[in-house]
Structure 1
Amino acid sequence: MFKPIRKKINEIDHSSAEALLQSNRRGILAMNGDNGYPYAIPINYFYDSLAQKIYFHGAKAGHKVEALKVSDNVCFTVYGNECIAES
């Protein structure tokens, strides 16, 4: 279904992925938008580690909901609290 990761050095294990989900609250949800254009939005989420489910914050109507009704193929990217170190 998914292509294997090309740079194995960038791969993280399951427990690290779960820790990333648990320790952050923001991500980008990307999906298929209108007329085949990608649609990506920053979104707040909650990760339930017991159920191993991600819950997204949002309205019950709108562009996101309409896009998800058409296709449930999505990409979710979590970004942490990284900072750029000054040298």
Structure 2
Amino acid sequence: MWIQTLLSELKVHHSTLVIFCDNMSIVALAHNPVLHARTKHMELDLFFVREKVAAKRLQVVHVPAIDQCADVLTKALSPSRFCELRSKLQVVESPHPT
């Protein structure tokens, strides 16, 4: 959001910030203006996100867990799954030195 504000001040065109989330509940809460009793502990963060979503400065979009590229950085994966996600990030294996 800070970079987005900076770009706006510099008159640089930029697209709306998109956050990809694999949790359907969080996506629903981000778009729902009603604050529920069970979300009280995250009231400030949720208010900030909802405000940005309403102003169309932020989109919260669902991404299925199978397509969550961040898993390569946060979870222990099988070698095949690791390589699949690594390729989605466009990171290639460096050649071994000879």
- TM-score relative to the length of structure 2: 0.26
TM-score (norm 1): 0.27
Structure of greater Rg: 2
| Structure with the larger strand share | 1
